[in-house]
Structure 1
Amino acid sequence: MPVPIPVFTVFSGRTYAPAYVERLQRMLARHLPEPHQLTVLCDAANQPAMASLGLPHRGLQERGLQGFCSKIQLFDPDLTGTEPFLYFDITLVVRSSLAPLLAFGAGSGAELVGVRDWNYPTLNSCLMRLKPGAATSRVWQAYLDGEDHGTPGPNQNFIHRVLRRHCPEALGFWPDGLVASYRGLRKLARRDPGAAKQARRAACVLKFHGRPRPHEVLRPWRHPTQTVLKNPDRPDLWGYLAGDITEHWLLS
């Protein structure tokens, strides 16, 4: 019987409701074809919620890391182990099979495979495959040593800087298009709906970064600043991709 793939997510702070974690679990059950085990890394305040949902969880350490900056602790082998694992942000909508990502990750020689950011020349850490080794350990040690944390604190830019500085060969990226930016697709849809539709179909994952969040897209008039007022003359974009969100996130 195959050993389940370890999968982690981070749930820290009060920005998102526990339902985001539960929906991620359901999407992975639907679209991750290999046996897997999702473990939630959460701060002390959110551990009771994870226990009430029956989700396996481990406590994050008190190391001055808050919110998504806590994902630096993914590089601590005492917390995540020594076997290759997948990491997913809770702000993702998984809309089709993750088999292409599994195949690419398994064939990559990189210790970390992540998303090439859509706006900046850096890593976007929303979906990663980590193969613990010397390079990933170097990221954790760099944090413990206080190396170039930057402002406002350790995050994906920190991970990218450490790897590029000490072991650039350890960093790889998913094929372009498999993970799509929701805001990028919406912007493209404004000027070229056909291209946006094609890009959406090619993506197995949608990343929601910043605003709007998935629940806001489903109720644009309750959250007009990031929906209606972004494209006031385009009602078709107010609830852009609400169908995908409903099918794969809300009802998965």
Structure 2
Amino acid sequence: MTIPVFTVFSGHTYRPIYVERLQRMLTRHMPADHHLTVLCDAATQPAVANLGLPHCRLEERGLKGFCSKIQLFNPDLTGTTPFLYFDITLVVRSSLEPLLHFASTSKFDVIGVRDWNYPTLNSCLMHLRPGAATARVWQSYLEGENHGTPGPNQNFIYRVLQQHCPETIGFWPEGLVASYRELRKKARHDPSTAEQAHLAACVLKFHGRPRPHEVLSPWRHPSQTVLKHPFRPDLWSYLADDIHAHWC
């Protein structure tokens, strides 16, 4: 069975190479046949077409950047088959079998990462089982429900599900998806524990800065690397070897 996989490439923040490298990592580490579709806007569509990847034009609806991700819950766009979603800012470093096994045996319709900093669902890597719960998220957006968020972001998704169908929300097993920033923070004081957490993760999430290409070239991006830890050169290019091995 071929697993549908989606990613969103919207705006000008990231270069097309991020999409291309995600495709390579999925090819290496997805233990089953899969089909990656890139959801893109008008600004990024030519770049995706040049990569030769299957893509689908996002509807405008006033959705920009990360807010475009809400369209994953539109059944007219993603269909009725359960699927995976990956941010383009992920580094897949080992087999995704543990995630696939958890998703296939889970009762939850929406599975995401338990956020590292806030009591919410982080939507960087999700498994969605289209149905009443996912359709409710899309309908809530169309109806303009107010959930105290600045836009239809991951907090909006989580709060809609909490209000209407909380039993459908699940989280990946702890540690399978690790935050690069949290690992680097831990490595400042407890490098051994940080390394154990790093090796246990099959996916690294880069949120905010630095981005993977900045870690690989810290002197080109000093404000996000060197100047963050001026007296800790071991942190300037933290996990660069691992990133180079799996992301490049």
1:38·1:56 contact (CA, 8 Å) conserved in 2? yes
1:5·1:36 contact (CA, 8 Å) conserved in 2? yes
Give 1:87's aligned residue. Answer: 85
Deviation at 1:154, TM superposition (A): 0.9
**Of 2, 5, 29, the match for 2:3:** 5
Q: Map Cα deviations across residues 117-137 of structure 1 (whole Å, 9 max, x no partner).
A: 000000000000000010000
Give 1:44's aligned residue. Answer: 42
Q: Aligned partners of 2:242 and 2:146: how far apart in 1?
A: 40
Q: Aligned partners of 1:149 and 1:69: how far apart in 2?
A: 14
2:147·2:159 contact (CA, 8 Å) conserved in 1? no
Q: TM-score, normalising length from structure 2?
A: 0.99
**Of 196, 199, 205, the match for 2:197:** 199
**Of 229, 237, 241, the match for 2:239:** 241
Q: Which contiguous aligned blocks of 4+ residues in structure 1 show a shift greater than 6 angstroms?
A: none
Give 1:117's aligned residue. Answer: 115
Q: State the secondary structure of the residue aligned to 1:49.
A: helix
2:217 maps to amino acid: R
Q: Aligned partners of 2:213 and 2:110: how far apart in 1?
A: 30
Give 1:135's aligned residue. Answer: 133
Q: State the secondary structure of the residue aligned to 2:61.
A: coil
Q: Aligned partners of 1:100 and 1:5: how far apart in 2?
A: 15
Give 2:207's aligned residue. Answer: 209
Q: Aligned partners of 1:63 and 1:108: how far apart in 2?
A: 33
1:191 maps to amino acid: H
- Once the two structures are aligned, what percentage of the paired residues are identical? 77
Deviation at 1:151, TM superposition (A): 4.0
Q: Aligned partners of 1:39 and 1:11: how far apart in 2?
A: 10
Q: Map Cα deviations across residues 157-216 of structure 1 (whole Å, 9 max, x no partner).
A: 000000001000000000010000000000000000000000000000000000000000
Show structure 1 runs of 5+ residues with no match. Answer: none
**Of 18, 28, 31, the match for 1:30:** 28
Q: Aligned partners of 1:104 and 1:168: how far apart in 2?
A: 19
Q: Aligned partners of 2:26 and 2:122: how far apart in 1?
A: 20
**Of 156, 159, 164, the match for 1:158:** 156
Q: Aligned partners of 1:183 and 1:161: how far apart in 2?
A: 25
Deviation at 1:106, TM superposition (A): 0.6
Show structure 2 runs of 5+ residues with no match. Answer: none
Give 1:171's aligned residue. Answer: 169
Q: State the secondary structure of the residue aligned to 2:44.
A: helix
Computed over aligned residues only, the root mean square deviation of the Cα atoms, in angstroms, reads 0.7
Q: Map Cα deviations across residues 105-126 of structure 1 (whole Å, 9 max, x no partner).
A: 1111000000000000000000
Give 1:63's aligned residue. Answer: 61
1:143·1:149 contact (CA, 8 Å) conserved in 2? no
**Greater Cα shift, 30-39 or 222-231:** 222-231
1:194 maps to amino acid: S
Q: State the secondary structure of the residue aligned to 1:228.
A: coil
